[in-house]
Amino acid sequence: MFLWKLSMVVFALLLAPMLCADPQPAAAVGLPASAAQAAPAFDVKAATDAYLATVPLDKKARSDAYFEGGYWLQLWDFLIGVVIAIFMLQSRLSVRMRDWAARISSWWGIRILIYFVQFLLFTTVVQFPMAIYEGYIREHKYGLATQTFGPWMRDQLVGLGVGAVLGGVAVVGLYWIVGRLGKNWWIWGAAAGVVFQAIVILIAPVYIAPLFNTFHKLQDPKIKDPILSMARANGIPATDVYEVDASKQSTRVSAYVSGFLGSERIVLNDNLLNRCSPEEIQSVMGHEMGHYVLHHIYKDLLFDTVLFFIGFAFLNWGMHWGLARWGERWGAREITDVAALPLAVLLLSIFFFVLTPITNSWTRTQEYEADIFGLNAARQPDGEALVDLKLGDYRKLDPTPMEEILFYDHPSGRTRITAAMRWKAENMAVLPPGTNLGGPR
């Protein structure tokens, strides 16, 4: 009796793999019988390695150097910001700015605004050499920039103007809340911060982005038709796909989704449209549609809400702690005193700097979701792999796992190509006729 049972178990174990390899399940869902046999022949890791190996070594070294240099730039930018804030407080420059603003206007709101404009101009001027190196010299050195200095400078000034308007509104609003709402100001401050950010996201595609670039609806029917078909298939209004003249500033291949509550749009940049095959463009479009359909902008706002409340609680604590310790020396003892603004900026920049790996991981996870959505929507795993290699112009392709967690706001080339090749291995039978069933060509 026991032996019989045992033999049944052994039989079942032996049979199980055979059942799995049986083409019947594939045939049952209308797939060709070859589906199950084809899958094991495709080695995901080998295909991924083969794609990565197509990048010439000197090009890879250059992209690695560019991206790794970015790690240090993040640290330097943070440290420069810290030094500037401490200098403004310790030298009492901040107090002098406040007093000067008070001499010009007796109205409270205007005084805050005048202080903020001085603050913005001073920090921008001090950080300007670094901005030139980072945004102009270095981008040219790595062949990523297309602008001459004049137009670049024009963009910087427009950016400064936008920062002055938006920052001015935010700072006046916050000091109003701090002055009126007392001890619990930080709760209302965080709530107002979230609403303010939502408004900026809402208006950015229509009022801010066009200050830098020209947008128009996608034109070329060869590219447009499959993309709009894919958009319709995924429930995206076809009017929401735009092309932007990003080649004005850069050689980077890119695309994004912006806006919300009706201002949403998918924007493909002209570098992508000019440098990529229709298969590659479709894979990018599938990815962007993922952001759209998965409501990543709304989820971002929710995540930011959590961050804002924690950040403002930290800000409230830090302001009281810092002003109690050094307020006398700085000439700014009250949290309501705008001369303490550099401390607030310092505290928030520490908060967001420390949280970088977490915010990066949040974004990277969404990007990975969009990748998976895109593979299913566009069904272009090789297009995806080829675009991932092009993104390797400015993003290190093959980092260590820890590097990816700490520094990457998008998955690395290796992670993305692996996902594409894994998708391909499992979908061999349903790929359209004529698809390359091997590795890179």
Residues 201 and 59: their CA atoms lie apart, in Å, by 36
Contact range with Zn ion by CB under 5 A, out of 191-199, 217-225, 230-238, 361-369: 361-369
Name the minimum Å distance from CB 162 to Zn ion.
23
Name the minimum Å distance from CB 273 to Zn ion.
17
Contact range with Zn ion by CB under 5 A, out of 3-11, 152-160, 317-325, 364-372: 364-372
Residues 260 and 76: their CA atoms lie apart, in Å, by 34
206: its two tokens: 């229509």
Between 337 and 388, CB nearer to Zn ion: 388
Between 139 and 367, CB nearer to Zn ion: 367
101: its two tokens: 């603003």
DSSP secondary structure letters along 310-339: HHHHHHHHHHHHHHHHHHHHHT--STT-GG
Name the minimum Å distance from CB 288 to Zn ion.
7
- Scan for tokens 């000197």, then name that residue: 58
Please choose, from the candidates 420, 423, 401, the residue with its C-alpha nearest in 3D space to the C-alpha of residue 412.
401
Binding-site size for Zn ion (CB under 5 A) equals 2
Contact range with Zn ion by CB under 5 A, out of 141-149, 225-233, 240-248, 369-377: 369-377
Residues 230 and 373: their CA atoms lie apart, in Å, by 12
Name the minimum Å distance from CB 257 to Zn ion.
8
Name the minimum Å distance from CB 244 to Zn ion.
15
Between 374 and 439, CB nearer to Zn ion: 374
- Scan for tokens 């995540």, then name that residue: 303
Between 344 and 370, CB nearer to Zn ion: 370
Residues 146 and 157: their CA atoms lie apart, in Å, by 18
Q: How many CA atoms lie within 13 A of 193 on its CB side?
A: 23
CA separation (Å) from 351 to 78, 314, 345, 355? Answer: 11, 8, 10, 6
Name the minimum Å distance from CB 103 to Zn ion.
49
322: how many CB neighbours lie within 10 A of its CB?
19
Between 243 and 367, CB nearer to Zn ion: 367
205: its two tokens: 């595609």
Between 367 and 388, CB nearer to Zn ion: 367
Contact range with Zn ion by CB under 5 A, out of 89-97, 101-109, 370-378, 415-423: 370-378
Between 123 and 360, CB nearer to Zn ion: 360
Contact range with Zn ion by CB under 5 A, out of 36-44, 342-350, 360-368, 432-440: 360-368
Between 155 and 300, CB nearer to Zn ion: 300
Which of 367, 388, 393, 404 is in the footprint of Zn ion by CB under 5 A?
Answer: 367
Name the minimum Å distance from CB 256 to Zn ion.
7
Between 288 and 337, CB nearer to Zn ion: 288
Name the minimum Å distance from CB 374 to Zn ion.
9
8 Å CB contact between 366 and 301: no
Residues 88 and 125: their CA atoms lie apart, in Å, by 14
Name the minimum Å distance from CB 260 to Zn ion.
16
Local structure of 54: helix, strand or coil: coil
Residues 164 and 158: their CA atoms lie apart, in Å, by 10
Residues 284 and 210: their CA atoms lie apart, in Å, by 22
Contact range with Zn ion by CB under 5 A, out of 166-174, 186-194, 226-234, 368-376: 368-376
Interaction site with Zn ion (CB under 5 A): 367, 370
